Structure 1
Amino acid sequence: MKSTDKTLVFNKLLDQYRYLGLPEEFIDDEADFTIHDLKDIHKDVPYQSPVYRTNFFSFVFVKDATGKYTTDEQIFETKPGTVYFTNPGHFKSFEWRTLNEVYLITLSESFLKENVHADIFDEFPFLLAETVPPRVLDAQLFSEFEQLYHQIAGIYFGDCIYKNRMIGNLFVVLLLKIKAYFWLDYNPIYEGNRSSQIVKSFKRTLEKHYRQLASGQAQVMFRVQDYADAQHLHPNYLNNVIRSKTGKAIGTWIAEKTIAEAKSMLQNSAVSIKEVAYRLGFSESANFSNYFKKHTDLSPVLYRKQQAGRTS
């Protein structure tokens, strides 16, 4: 657990539960999965949580309770029949005014990939949506989810050696129901102005980073994960937005920018190829030469000679 701008950031489920006063005795910290009925946890209602950020997914099934929750700057009311989920990276808080039965499932990306689906975000892309509003279900539809989360809870609190696999299989059914009933036609890329802001921010970060590389203020080339971290987004989600809005994946943007900067520096004969490689974050000039040739069909030496010939 750490604090950023007075906001708590939890990297482990155990840290989050301990800080919020949730029961710890049934948490499998290795599996990164928990399920609880919140009435067994929050004995005193109303309850207001602090603002925090986690690296986990949370699924909430509100059978009988009222309150609200926030995701970044958006506030949503919760009432009987509400189902919602939040994904990692966002600022969150929640409030319960009344609380009789609410099941909370919290799990990590690694648990999803290991026990639910190896290509979890290809199968269920809505998990990467920036913010998905809650849905309020009628009693009959909510009962389908109720049966599932009670089954999952029964397995979780049991002692079967295959419980993670069994929970994983049931969670596939749960996600398929969510996909079918709520987000069958939902496109996580279409989020109005927010997507445009994400693209603009990415381009600004890209440009700033290469200026820092060229000036020696940075020594390591950013990866997709670094650009995602800069906006507190999942890298798959960021890449989907960039590809959808620009027609190019982040990897393509990085490659094109790297080659453009390399060409600019190679046209300056005072800068050695070794120095060009170093400034662009390559640990070895040979790696840079291979990278440059892969994208241009020319070695840096030959490219420099060609440019020198054109200006002589």
Structure 2
Amino acid sequence: MGEVRSYNKISDLLKSEDLGNQVHQDSDFTINRLEDIHPRPTKSPTFRANYYSFVLVQKGSTDYSIDNRKFSTKGRTLYFTNPGHLKSFHIREVSHGFIITVSENFLKEFIHRDVFDEFSFLLTEIVPPCYLDEHRFGELYALAEQIIIEEQKNTVLKHKIVSSFFLVFLLKVKEYLLKDRGFKMEYDRDSEIVNRFKKDLEKYFRKLLNDSKGQKEIPQVQYFSAQQQLNPSYFSTVVKTKTGRTANNWIHEKMLSEAKAMLTQSTNPIKEIAYSLGFQEATHFSKFFKKYVGKSPVKYRKDP
């Protein structure tokens, strides 16, 4: 396998790999009809998508892989994937339905800051496709129809309205997964390690941001490996192998995600935000932020 490209947006994937019709993307949330973006059978190279995808297949046939797992779709299929995995797909018969893509930032800003508490299935490494009955599929399909109508409008409240419908969509998906006896989260040992790491990461930052009196420290890889009683080197290897990103990358991206949310959703001073994230000096936080984002916290707050 040659170089595997990573994409932060579905628009970049479609444009770079020539997999179908290009789409316009002006936010971290997209919804498109499958038949519009893939109007003919096509086969993708292996790639890494750094966003969540929810796919509703009304009809059509596609084989897809996530890491070393292979799956197939048919009529009334629902499946989703989360960021960081090696993915590929082969559309054998043009599929009709919807694909929704969303970033963690969007989930935190428009769904709920603690979105992974309510929707812990989003942290699952790999979820097999769900083959729904006509009623359940119809409910999700109707919600997707409403979302795409609202998404195409240019109104001040568009994002709030879209996110409200998407919240119901997520609740319905959760409801189906809980009721479906055939739904099994088949972890291997490595997947359990990554899944636990993601939950520990959420838990650490929750405590970091909510504990106003405790000592603030920037999280280290050794802390998370110790939570699972694992050698730090082995732990890091598993995370890198399974997700394509180092544990430090995950920690930094989580820190940046929380920083961006506080910069855009609060008026807290930069110094206070820096301290709440574990930085002892605001200058260190500003250098860290600018290194990865390309602009200072002050400039980002003015122009995200």
**TM-score range with shorter-chain normalisation?**
0.5 to 0.7
Instruction: Tell me, in whole angstroms, the C-alpha distance in 2 between the residues paired with 1:159 and 1:71.
Output: 35
Counterpart of 1:26? 24
Match of 2:101 among 92, 95, 106: 106
Counterpart of 1:206? 232
RMSD: 3.6
Name whichever of 8-17 and 160-169 sits farther off: 8-17
Alignment of 1:109-124 (within 5 A): 109-124=104-119
Counterpart of 1:232? 243
Name whichever of 6-15 and 81-90 sits farther off: 6-15
Structure 1 position 33, deviation (Å): 1.4
Alpha-carbon displacement from aligned partner over 1:143-167 (angstroms, at most 9, x marks no partner): 0001000011101111122111111
Gaps of 5+ in 1: 210-221, 240-281, 285-312
2:12 corresponds to 1:15: yes
Instruction: Tell me, in whole angstroms, the C-alpha distance in 2 between the residues paired with 1:122 and 1:233.
Output: 25
Secondary structure of 1:97's counterpart equals strand
Instruction: Tell me, in whole angstroms, the C-alpha distance in 1 between the residues paired with 2:30 and 2:100.
Output: 6
Instruction: Tell me, in whole angstroms, the C-alpha distance in 1 between the residues paired with 2:145 and 2:192.
Output: 41
Whether the 8 Å contact between 1:126 and 1:188 is mirrored in structure 2 is no
Instruction: Tell me, in whole angstroms, the C-alpha distance in 2 between the residues paired with 1:109 and 1:52.
Output: 19
Alignment of 1:283-302 (within 5 A): none
Alignment of 1:255-266 (within 5 A): none
Counterpart of 2:80? 85
For 2:87, give the aligned amino acid.
K
Instruction: Tell me, in whole angstroms, the C-alpha distance in 2 between the residues paired with 1:75 and 1:26.
Output: 30
Secondary structure of 2:106's counterpart equals helix
Instruction: Tell me, in whole angstroms, the C-alpha distance in 1 between the residues paired with 2:90 and 2:134.
Output: 23
Counterpart of 1:39? 35
Structure 1 position 179, deviation (Å): 0.8
2:181 corresponds to 1:183: no
Aligned residues: 219
Structure 1 position 233, deviation (Å): 7.8
Counterpart of 2:91? 96
Instruction: Tell me, in whole angstroms, the C-alpha distance in 2 between the residues paired with 1:10 and 1:104.
Output: 16
For 1:149, give the aligned amino acid.
A
Counterpart of 1:300? none
Identity of matched residues, %: 35
Instruction: Tell me, in whole angstroms, the C-alpha distance in 1 between the residues paired with 2:154 and 2:280.
Output: 50
Whether the 8 Å contact between 2:35 and 2:97 is mirrored in structure 1 is yes
Cα distance, 1:86–1:152 mapped onto 2, change above 3 Å: same
TM-score (norm 2): 0.62
Structure 1 position 116, deviation (Å): 1.2
Structure 1 position 54, deviation (Å): 1.3
Match of 1:193 among 183, 189, 198: 189
Instruction: Tell me, in whole angstroms, the C-alpha distance in 2 between the residues paired with 1:208 and 1:195.
Output: 13
Secondary structure of 1:183's counterpart equals helix
Counterpart of 1:257? none
Match of 2:132 among 137, 145, 150: 137
Instruction: Tell me, in whole angstroms, the C-alpha distance in 2 between the residues paired with 1:196 and 1:143.
Output: 33
Instruction: Tell me, in whole angstroms, the C-alpha distance in 2 between the residues paired with 1:67 and 1:93.
Output: 10
Counterpart of 2:272? none
2:62 corresponds to 1:62: no
Structure 1 position 64, deviation (Å): 0.9
Q: Select the structure of larger CA radius of gyration.
A: 1
Whether the 8 Å contact between 1:59 and 1:104 is mirrored in structure 2 is yes
Cα distance, 1:94–1:108 mapped onto 2, change above 3 Å: same
Structure 1 position 20, deviation (Å): 3.5
Structure 1 position 17, deviation (Å): 2.7
Structure 1 position 192, deviation (Å): 4.3
